[in-house]
Chain A
């Protein structure tokens, strides 16, 4: 069942319940009113009838009869009964009129007046005190017009209920369609978007309602999809290119060397060259493996708390060993004695070292071994690692691509690299709950900021 029909049904159900309750209310109180009205009539008639029948004064009795005949119509099936009050009155009445209940007689005796009805046959009883004693006067009549009215009212209510329900269903469907129209439009639009037109977005409404929220959610989802898609296609393209370059070199070299017999020196040179290319291939596949491992097996490594200042120092020592002419300046904010674990970060040491080494190495590489400044400092909630250089920078329009594997900025032509280090570093930082922010000026330098949450302790 579609939501549209569901909404219509809910609407109908709600209307029906309300209408039903209202109808019952109206019918019930109308019925009571009709009965009350008729009882009043009956009580008056009982009094007049008693006065007429039991009055000993003939003149008065005749006058009452005259007034009665002139002004009061006989009600349908109107009858009156008179019983002198004595001890076995109830039995006498019950014997004559078994349909009259005992409670009615008791009530008359107690309150002087009472009424009851069975269906539209109404009974009114009064105690009348005549000269020769007390009488129980019972008058009954059939309320034809009341019955008629109530039947008409019932029919009208039933008819109204039926018509309203149908109307509610029709209106409900109409409104439901009206409400669901934007949803249907969104569905149609979303169905329309496929791989070939992934750049298309849903039109934005400006009502700021749930539907707009849905639209923007869809749009951000499409953004992510498109990014992932682009990333993947870029990755495949770049990866195959990177892998093929050394392979082509090896194949070409081997073909050339096999064409004719050569001397040993040529073979050695050729094999050296192949070895170099094979090493390059190995490097690329190793870093690719690293990348994919960090992407997928994030939970397998052991996470232990490490002091970042210590880690940075050991990285610096490592660089000093490998390239003694480096210009890394490492500055660390001095800590108070009580805050010795400020720079503590639960991390996989090998990975973190890899990430930081990658970033610092990039800084050295792209600044032609100019000075690289690394600082470590903390505020109350975070600590920051800043790494800045005087390098070639990243062109402003390319900075959003730097985390894509194999992406290399347009100004990196003369430097060797595969475009894996920075995406890898970013992924590692992100896995450790940190944020990486790169700010760069072309030809002037780049500043990388890593922000980590301070461990509460």
Chain B
């Protein structure tokens, strides 16, 4: 039983992430873990935790859960248990331990979290991208009505997909199967791709301007 982690700012687009997560978990069991983060200063006093900037946006949170229970009915999604976790401060070991503790299978990052300017959120993302866990980054403009049906795997020719990916509910097309002469955009349009899967590489991958496609990107 593996779980899906969603780091959140309790913005509305967390719903999209929840939808993707619930959709992925349609067949298996598992939990969704919502992680919210706040910074912690170097000196520790009790008063620190009372300071205003760390107070959760409770209103947004309540609205989020109300919206979610509505969405569950609207889209006939499985009702997965949701765990909330608030994390003060983050570091590489803490992140790894956190993900291991929650038996993370995948981390889905909503766009609001991606765009967040808060240092702690940026740090979390940077650490996450260096970790070995699969990370799915959601684009800005998902209308949320479309489930992920087909994925395009952008990898080197000889590299094969892991069994875990083969078992995903979406159909993954290996890049080597399609005509490599065509530009990426036309391939994506022709095959109605709605997810890009790419392996984690150290050097920046040239000529794939993946971000401009406006699709979720799963890094594995």
Q: How far is the CA of A183 from the CA of B171 in the complex (A)?
A: 50
Residues in A neighbouring B160, C-beta threshold 8 A: 377-380
Q: Give complex CA distance A70, B26 in Å.
A: 108
| Residues from chain A with Cβ under 8 Å of B150 in the complex | 373, 388
Chain A residue numbers with a CB within 8 Å of B30 are none
The reply to whether B166 and A384 form a contact with Cβ atoms under 8 Å apart is yes
**Distance between Cα atoms of A332 and B173 in the complex (Å):** 9
Specify which of A333, A386, A399 is in contact with B176 (CB 8 Å cutoff).
A333
**Contact (A373, B173) CB under 8 Å given A329-B191, A382-B163, A390-B149:** yes
Chain B positions near chain A (C-beta within 8 angstroms) = 23, 26-27, 76, 78, 147, 149-150, 157-158, 160-163, 166-167, 169-174, 176-178, 191-192
C-alpha spacing A437/B27, complex, angstroms:
11
Q: Contact check, A331 vs B177: say whether CB atoms are below 8 A apart.
A: yes
A333, A447, A451: the one within 8 Å of B169 (CB) = A447
List, in ascending order, chain A residues with CB within 8 A of B161's CB. Answer: 377, 379
Q: Residue A53 at the B interface, CB < 8 A? A: no
Structural contact, A444 and B158, CB atoms closer than 8 A: no
Question: A129 contacts the other chain (Cβ, under 8 Å)?
Answer: no
User: Shortest beta-carbon distance, B72 to chain A, in Å?
Assistant: 13
Bin chain A's interface residue count.
20 to 34
**When chains A and B are docked, how far (Å) is the Cα of A390 from the Cα of B171?**
11
Nearest B residue to A386, CB-CB: B171
With A439-B27, A442-B76 known as contacts, the answer to whether A331 contacts B167 (CB < 8 A) is: no
Can you name 24 A-B pairs with beta carbons within 8 Å?
A331-B177, A333-B174, A333-B177, A336-B158, A373-B150, A373-B173, A375-B172, A375-B173, A375-B174, A375-B177, A377-B174, A378-B160, A379-B162, A379-B163, A379-B166, A390-B149, A437-B167, A439-B27, A439-B169, A441-B23, A441-B26, A445-B147, A447-B169, A447-B171
In the bound complex, how far is the Cα of B191 from the Cα of A399, in angstroms?
27
Nearest residue, chain B, Cβ from A437 = B167
Q: How many Å from the CB of A249 to the closest CB on chain B?
A: 36
A250 to chain B, nearest CB (A): 41
> Residue on A with the closest CB to B146?
A444
Is A449 at the interface (CB under 8 A from chain B)? yes
Instruction: Give Cα distance in the complex from A439 to B78, angstroms.
Output: 14
**C-alpha gap A384/B153 in the complex (Å):** 15
Interface of B, secondary structure class, is: loop
CA distance A383 to B137 in the complex (A): 29
- Give bound CA distance, A379 to B147, whole Å: 26
Task: Please state if A396 and B171 are interface contacts (CB–CB under 8 Å).
Answer: no
Complex CA gap A35/B166 in Å reads 87
A371 at the interface (CB under 8 A from B): yes
Q: In the complex, A445→B172 CA distance in Å?
A: 14
On chain B, the residues within 8 Å of A377 by CB distance are: 160-161, 174, 177
Cα distance A285–B50 in the bound complex, in angstroms: 76
A399 to B169, CA, bound (A): 14
With A333-B176, A388-B150 as given contacts, are A447 and B158 in contact (CB-CB < 8 Å)?
no
Q: How far is the CA of A442 from the CA of B160 in the complex (A)?
A: 30
Q: Is the CB of A445 within 8 A of B149?
A: yes
Q: Which residues of B contact A331 (CB under 8 A)?
A: 173-174, 177-178
Residue in B23, B158, B167 with the greatest tally of chain A CB atoms within 10 Å: B167
- Given A334-B177, A336-B158, A377-B160, the answer on whether A444 and B26 have CB atoms closer than 8 Å is no
Complex Cα distance, B151 from A386, in Å, reads: 12
Q: Which residue of A lies closest to B171 (CB)?
A: A388
Taking the closest CB of chain A, its distance from the CB of B192, in whole angstroms, is 7
Structural contact, B177 and A444, CB atoms closer than 8 A: no
Closest 10 CB pairs of A and B: A379-B160, A388-B171, A331-B177, A439-B169, A444-B147, A386-B171, A384-B166, A447-B171, A334-B176, A333-B174
User: In whole angstroms, what is the CA distance A449 to B169 when docked?
Assistant: 9
List chain A residues, Cβ under 8 A from B172.
Answer: 375, 386
Measured between C-beta atoms, what is the minimum distance from B2 to chain A in Å?
16
Distance between B76 CB and nearest chain A CB, rounded to angstroms: 6
- A377 CA to B177 CA, complexed, in Å: 9
On whether the beta carbons of A396 and B78 are closer than 8 Å, the reply is: yes
A441 touches B169 (CB 8 A): yes
Contact, CB under 8 Å: B166 / A449: yes
- Given A379-B160, A439-B27, A449–B167 Cβ distance below 8 Å? yes
